[in-house]
Amino acid sequence: MNLLIINDDGIDAPGIRTLIEVLAPHHKLYVCAPHEGMSAMGHAITLKHALHVEPEEIPGVIKAYRVWGTPADCAKLALLYLFQEVPFDIVLSGINN
């Protein structure tokens, strides 16, 4: 299955890395997550500055991006632009700290 993984704790958070480690052997993983923790910002979107997106190398992941934006920014960017050609079966968020 094609899985998109996002979170609100940031791309370097232990929870997202554990989720990747567990799912990678069985699925095609794509990741788009904030550059740092953004807890309690799940519905916020960035309006007043440009979003910066940087490719990230994560073992077991087909493509990953670090985003200087909110979790909602990450989801929108991933689904509408970065991975628009990928037919995702599931979008997962977590694992929380």
Tell me: the pLDDT tens digits for 37-86?
988 887 899 999 999 999 999 999 999 999 999 999 999 999 999 999 99
Query: Rounded to whole angstroms, what are the CA distances from 73 to 18, 22, 39, 44?
Result: 22, 25, 14, 8
The pLDDT score that the predictor gives to residue 16 is 96
Q: In whole angstroms, what is the distance from residue 97 CA to residue 84 CA?
A: 29
What is the value of pTM for the model shown?
0.95
Q: What are phi and psi for residue 2, nearest 5 degrees?
A: -90, 120
Cα 66 to its chain centre, rounded Å, is 8
